[in-house]
């Protein structure tokens, strides 16, 4: 037997009290949003006849997520990060800011304060001799095709086991994380290792939520970017290395056709020598187009709590 009590004056009045509508203090926006959120959840409990057991199991799972600092990991899996991107894309389209390299999600694993280099950086610490060498390069240009010298290109990616430094204690500090200042022609170059796909930690609270939905927590091999330059719109994006089985099955919904890059396997020793490499490598080229803007708030990344952001300033 199911009961329906949501649409009664008692429950409607109760929600107003809970959301602080009768109080002078607090934030009006917080009151409105909490009122809407609780109304939707109360209605859901009524409609789905949620049992006390189900409710308290969910509270416990949320405590687990919090204890493991995994709300930021679950968020992309539930599509929130991509949904925010879709909204920012729509805002840009309405303002007729179109045509540059598309954005895609930042993800939860950026760490501020990576070493900075001019034009070129070696990103890996050399400890992984079994990985494929990656030569990662590209040019930053504006919408007219002119180079953007001095653009800040921040790059971070996983190692061949899918782990990120800082979060994976087996890696050295800032391994596979660098900021490269583009040269006079807007070009950046990096020597690194080919990353593997990433998976949310098996058995973690995030994994439990995904499993309940019959989903996996895998991402295709990808490389994260922040690109910025004075007078240009800040860009948060990623590239995916083409040919990954998860390319179109990314649990974080970050893949975009324009951001798929084919690596080029190079065995020619002259090409290796020209780049200061000793043997075969895979070249990955990602050119970036930035839109111009005079608005300062569009020139920087969104504020959000990030690892070491405060320490790095």
By CB under 6 A, residue 210 contacts ligand DHB: no
- Identify what 182 binds: Fe ion, ligand DHB, none; CB under 5 to 8 Å per kind: none
Among 133, 147, 118, smallest CA distance to 271 is for 133
Q: Pick the piece of the chain touching ligand DHB (CB under 6 A) from 59-67, 86-94, 103-111, 145-153.
A: 103-111
Among 76, 77, 100, 107, interactor with Fe ion by CB under 5 A: 107
Looking from the CA of 154 toward its CB, the CA atoms found within 13 Å total 18
Among 102, 107, 109, smallest CA distance to 233 is for 102
By CB under 6 A, residue 261 contacts ligand DHB: no
By CB under 6 A, residue 111 contacts ligand DHB: no
The answer to whether 207 touches 77, Cβ cutoff 8 Å, is: no
CA dist., res. 73 & res. 80, Å (int)? 11
- Identify what 263 binds: ligand DHB, Fe ion, none; CB under 5 to 8 Å per kind: none
* CB 224, min distance to ligand DHB, A: 6
Q: Which helix (H) or strand (E) holds 224?
A: strand 222-228
Among 100, 108, 186, 195, interactor with ligand DHB by CB under 6 A: 108
Helices 205-212 & 52-67 angle (0-180, nearest 10): 140
* CB 158, min distance to ligand DHB, A: 7
By CB under 6 A, residue 252 contacts ligand DHB: yes
By CB under 6 A, residue 220 contacts ligand DHB: no
Report the number of secondary-structure helices (H) and strands (E) in the chain: 8, 14
The footprint of ligand DHB (CB under 6 A) covers: 73, 76-77, 107-109, 198, 200, 219, 252
């Amino acid at each position: 037997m199911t009961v329906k009590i949501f649409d009664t004056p008692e429950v409607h009045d109760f929600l107003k009290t809970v959301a602080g509508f009768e109080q002078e203090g607090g934030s009006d926006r917080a009151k409105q949003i909490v009122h809407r959120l609780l109304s939707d959840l109360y209605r859901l409990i009524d409609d789905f006849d949620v049992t006390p057991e189900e409710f308290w199991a969910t509270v416990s799972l949320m405590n687990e997520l919090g204890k493991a600092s995994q709300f930021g990991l679950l968020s992309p899996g539930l599509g929130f990060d991509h949904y925010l991107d879709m909204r920012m894309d729509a805002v840009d389209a309405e303002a007729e800011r179109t045509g540059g390299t598309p954005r895609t999600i930042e993800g939860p694993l950026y760490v501020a304060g990576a070493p900075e280099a001019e034009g070129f950086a070696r990103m890996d610490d050399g400890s992984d001799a079994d990985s494929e060498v990656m030569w990662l390069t590209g040019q930053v240009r504006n919408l007219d095709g002119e180079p953007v010298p001095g653009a800040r290109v921040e790059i971070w990616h996983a190692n061949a086991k899918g782990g990120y430094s800082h979060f994976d204690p087996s890696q050295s500090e800032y391994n596979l994380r660098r900021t490269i200042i583009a040269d006079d022609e807007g070009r950046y170059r990096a020597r690194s290792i080919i990353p593997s796909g990433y998976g949310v930690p098996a058995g973690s609270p995030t994994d439990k939520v995904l499993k309940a939905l019959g989903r996996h927590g895998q991402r295709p091999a990808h490389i994260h970017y922040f690109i910025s330059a004075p007078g240009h719109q800040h860009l948060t994006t990623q590239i995916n290395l083409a040919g990954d089985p998860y390319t179109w099955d990314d649990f974080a919904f970050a893949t975009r056709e324009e951001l798929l890059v084919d690596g080029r396997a190079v065995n020619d020793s002259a090409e290796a020598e020209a780049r200061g490499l000793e043997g075969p490598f895979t070249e990955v080229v990602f050119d970036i187009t930035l839109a111009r803007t005079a608005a300062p708030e569009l020139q920087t990344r969104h504020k959000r709590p990030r690892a070491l952001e405060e320490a790095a300033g």
